[in-house]
Amino acid sequence: MAQRVTIEAGDGHEIGAWRADPKVTTIGGIVVLHAVFGLTDHMGDVCDAWAAEGIAAIAPSLYDRVSPGIVHPYGHEGVEAGRQSYMAITEQQILTDIEACRATLSALGPVAISGFCTGGSWAWTASAKLPFDAQVNFYGSHVAQRLDQSPICPSLVHYGDGDPIVPVPDIEKIQTANPDVLIRIHPGAGHAFFNPGQVDAHHPGASEAAWRLSVDFLHQTFGA
């Protein structure tokens, strides 16, 4: 089971996080960035799922820069509150926290970056600016607005063909600007399709397909 841990960033800031480690063989690590709602229990579940595949996982609470333990409820009000939380922290602070998690996992082998929604947007930026070995991105909400950035590591990106936040024309723009990035568009899925806690958005079939592709991608990239 994922455990709550504290990680010290390079500037001395203490980051709360979920962490899960494989029970037997570890082939590497992954940093998982939360969606606009903050470090929900779902992020702990995602860390557990990666650990079951041999990959140690850390999901940091990026909102701890605002106030420790912030989690916003699912729904419109939570989205608006989450936007305010993200706006209260700088890119440099976010990258500093991500790098601290990457460095923590680096002794275990190669390290990937992942993220969901707004966390996917920051995973995209981190994949362009920090020395990650791979990226697995779930419906990054602002990637189409960050086409001046390109990953410097092998990358797999998931979107749904019914995503109202990142419509198919925007996904096509991302692909055109980054022909080496693997983009998988899941039929019938919208935004947040991977999170069972967001009942109206969750798409079990797309979730399973995206997960198996992601596991296979990292196993292959890590040389497992």
pLDDT in tens, 171-198: 999 999 999 999 999 999 999 999 999 9
- Residue 194's closest CA among 182, 206, 212? 206
For residues 61 and 66, give the distance between their C-alpha atoms in angstroms, rounded to a whole number: 10
* In the predicted structure, residue 70 carries a pLDDT above the cut 90: yes
Instruction: Report how far residue 61's alpha carbon sits from residue 176's, in angstroms, rounded to the nearest whole number.
Output: 32
Taking a C-beta distance cutoff of 8 angstroms, is the pair 222, 110 a contact?
A: yes
Number of domains in the chain: 1
Closest CA to 112 of 46, 24, 168: 46
Per-residue pLDDT averaged across 112-131, rounded?
A: 98
Question: 92, exposed or middle or buried, with CB in 10 Å at 0-12, 13-18, 19+?
Answer: exposed
Kindly report the CATH number assigned to the domain that includes residue 62: 3.40.50.1820
* Domain region containing 170: 3-222
**Residue 194: predicted pLDDT:** 98
Query: Tell me, what amino acid is at 27?
Result: I
* % the chain with pLDDT above 90: 99
**80-119 pLDDT, tens per residue?**
999 999 999 999 999 999 999 999 999 999 999 999 999 9
Mean pLDDT for all residues in the chain: 97
The burial class, CB within 10 Å (0-12 / 13-18 / 19+), for 89 is: middle
**What is the per-residue pLDDT for 224?**
61
Give the pLDDT score at 29. Answer: 98
Find the mean pLDDT for residues 29-58: 98
Task: Record the pTM.
Answer: 0.97
- 133 falls in which pLDDT band (50, 70, 90)? very high
Q: Of 109, 131, 125, which Cα lies nearest the Cα of 56?
A: 109
The answer to whether residues 147 and 177 touch, using CB atoms and an 8 Å cutoff, is yes
Give the pLDDT score at 79: 96
The DSSP annotation for 36-96 comes to TTBS-HHHHHHHHHHHHTTEEEEEE-GGGGTSTT-BPPSSHHHHHHHHHHHHTS-HHHHHH
Q: How remote is the C-alpha of 38 from its chain's centroid?
A: 12
Per-residue pLDDT band at 214 (split at 50, 70, 90): very high
